[in-house]
Amino acid sequence: SCVHPDRPEPLDLHLGMFLPTLLNQATPEQMERFFTPAWNLRIIGTYAQTEMGHGTHLRGLETTATFDPSTQEFVLHSPTISSIKWWPGGLGKTSNHAIVLAQLHTQGRCHGLHAFIVPIRDMDTHVPLPGVVVGDIGPKFGFSEVDNGFLKLEHVRIPLDNMLMKFAKVEPDGTYVKPPSAKLTYGMVFIRSMIVGQSALALAKSCTIAIRYSAVRHQSELRPGEPEPQILNYQTQQHKLFPVLAAAYAFTFVGQYMKDTYRRISGDIHAGDYSQLPELHALSAGLKAFTTWAANAAIEVCRMSCGGHGYSRSSALPDIYVEFTPTCTYEGENTVMMLQTASRYLVKSYRQASVGQRLQGSVSYLSEAAAQRLRPRPVSGGAAPLSTQDLLSLVHLYQRRAASLVELAAKSIQQELQRGRSQEEAWNHSSIDLVRASDAHCHFVVVKLFVDKLEQVDDAAVKAVLSTLALLYALKGLADNSGDFLQAGLLTVPQATRVSARIKELLEELRPDAVALVDAFDLNDRKLNSVLGRYDGNVYEHLYEWARQSPLNATEVHESFHKYLKPLRSRL
């Protein structure tokens, strides 16, 4: 069948990770030897890092690469059942090479995880090479188009020059040369940055389908005796879908920002300036987790808002969900990514700000908060006046919520230490607070970027409707997380009531533009692949046609009648 755009494919890892890893970590000679044939699909590769026993804990990966100076080769080996590479996309049946992440051993010492290019299948016959046991891991929740595979290496030898050596090196005598920064070998920042844009696309597709269908679907009675209304006129339907629409726009802008930031900082890194790598790691890890969790939940809201037909594959919503949901797991499991952002960036920045350091980038607000803590608090101590119309004041509110939760997490660690717990235990007993702090930080970044984007919009009408969407996104987030704002003294109960009232007004304001706002995503019918989301709104005829095409309808009397039902009857 023709390849459908956006469906997962066996070549995704080749295109999305094998080639980018070569670009980031191969020497010019290795680029010549591997990138060119890989670009021409002579070499088809995957990124084999995860093992059956470890995905998150990279330092726990067991595959070894031991240098043999007598033959100038590395010996790649899977020492235990749990060390078998497990999950890499395209590994099972498609790839003939793999970038294998293994613990490098040379001159009797282990130097940690490094990347090695390992041929796994014969370039002509595609038969697995000697010492290579490779196959598919079996059916999954989805991703049925992709042969996620396993790879067991039995003392497989590769040349010295198959270790990606742009940063770290092994000399012919086995001497290990450290990389300029240990962080350069982690990788994965590229895909995490791209996933933010994938979250936006998944949201745009889902709310386009759900909002268009909600404009076509008529159901029940709003006013006795009147025709059944469009379900999009129900306040509850708007309350489900319009925040998703707002998030789709928000994440589109964040996805663009993430791509631009990745491009800018990876350019600096290639020029030898690694100073921004911590910010890029923290931002990509946090925003990947924040946007995928939010999008994952929102796709289900869109599906359920379409009633029974949303559960039909004809809507495309089940497939969008099944294909999107692993983004919360792969490329860095979301909880772990949130902890990375908090522990490796936010708390570290909080401590620097607390001793007066002026912070830059997305955490500069922590310096403001530290300075604020040194100033005498206002006697009233109450929440500042809340404007449900002024976007900048809402950005400031999100900033203060984030600062408050970062401080709460940092203080929790301090308190645990004062109770006599070890560093590791203190951090673990504060990890719920750490995740909350990361979530709040990312939420602030998203709201701020949405509002910043409005400054670039010249068309008054477009700016007005985008401002309404931004207001809805910010106020809905405030309502959903009112506990944080109340706990931080940033919101009062009367203000929370006003927020709820304002949200209802915004839903009403957006109703006339809702369909135009999803049309603006410009997702054609082929890309949406949804009967419910058709641009022409001609749902029922196409739903009937779609059902008629079902394989089960190839015959009027299915063979099961003769094979099972009829014999069963005769035995009763």
Ligand X SMILES: Cc1cc2nc3c(=O)[nH]c(=O)nc-3n(C[C@H](O)[C@H](O)[C@H](O)COP(=O)(O)OP(=O)(O)OC[C@H]3O[C@@H](n4cnc5c(N)ncnc54)[C@H](O)[C@@H]3O)c2cc1C
Residues belonging to the binding site for FAD are: 50, 89
Site for ligand LV4UQ37V contains 58 (CB under 6 A): yes
331 in contact with ligand LV4UQ37V (CB under 6 A): yes
Give the interface segment with ligand LV4UQ37V, choosing from 31-39, 184-192, 288-296, 360-368 (CB under 6 A): 184-192
- By CB under 6 A, tell whether 49 contacts ligand LV4UQ37V: yes
Q: Is residue 331 flagged as an active site residue?
A: yes
Q: Please say whether the dihedral angle defined by the alpha carbons of residues 344, 349, 352 and 354, taken in this order, is positive or negative.
A: negative
Told to check if 50 binds ligand LV4UQ37V by CB under 6 A, we report yes
List 57, 178, 411, 558, residue binding ligand LV4UQ37V (CB under 6 A)? 57
Q: Strand locations in 126-275, DSSP E?
A: 132-136, 149-153, 156-159, 169-170, 176-177
Task: Considering the candidates 51, 331, 407, 416, report the single residue annotated as catalytic.
Answer: 331
Q: Could you tell me the two tokens for 32?
A: 């010549």
Which positions make up the binding site? 50, 89
The residue among 431 and 492 lying less far from ligand X, judged by its C-beta, is: 431
The site partner of 377 among ligand X, ligand LV4UQ37V, none (C-beta below 5 to 8 Å per kind) is none
The DSSP code sequence of 307-339 is HHHHHSGGGSHHHHHHHHGGGGTTTS-HHHHHH
Distances (CA, A) of 75 to 20, 79, 103: 25, 12, 11
Among 7, 33, 169, 183, binds ligand LV4UQ37V (CB under 6 A): 183
Q: Could you tell me if 475 and 499 are in contact, meaning their C-beta atoms sit under 8 angstroms apart? A: yes
Residue 453 contacts by C-beta under 8 Å, 6 or more apart in sequence? 253, 466
Name the residue with the smallest CB distance to ligand LV4UQ37V.
Answer: 16
Reported as type and span, the H/E element at residue 99 is strand 97-106
How many other C-beta atoms can be found within 10 angstroms of the C-beta atom of residue 235?
11
CB of 169 to ligand LV4UQ37V, least distance (A): 20
Residues in 308-327 at the binding interface with ligand X, rule: CB under 6 A: 326
Neighbours of 56 (CB within 10 A): 13
Looking at residue 203, its amino acid is L
148 binds, among ligand LV4UQ37V, ligand X, none (CB under 5 to 8 A by kind): ligand X
13 binds ligand X (CB under 6 A): yes
- Residues 6+ away with beta carbon under 8 Å from 125: none
Residue window 2-31: x/- pattern of binding to ligand LV4UQ37V, with contact defined by CB under 6 A: ----------xx-xx---------------
In the three-class reduction of DSSP (H, G, I as helix; E, B as strand; rest coil), residue 73 is classed as strand
Residues that bind ligand X (CB under 6 A): 13, 47-50, 54-56, 87-89, 143, 148, 326, 329-330, 333, 335-336, 339
Residues that bind ligand LV4UQ37V (CB under 6 A): 12-13, 15-16, 47, 49-50, 55-59, 89, 183, 186, 188-189, 191, 277-278, 281, 330-332, 336, 340, 344
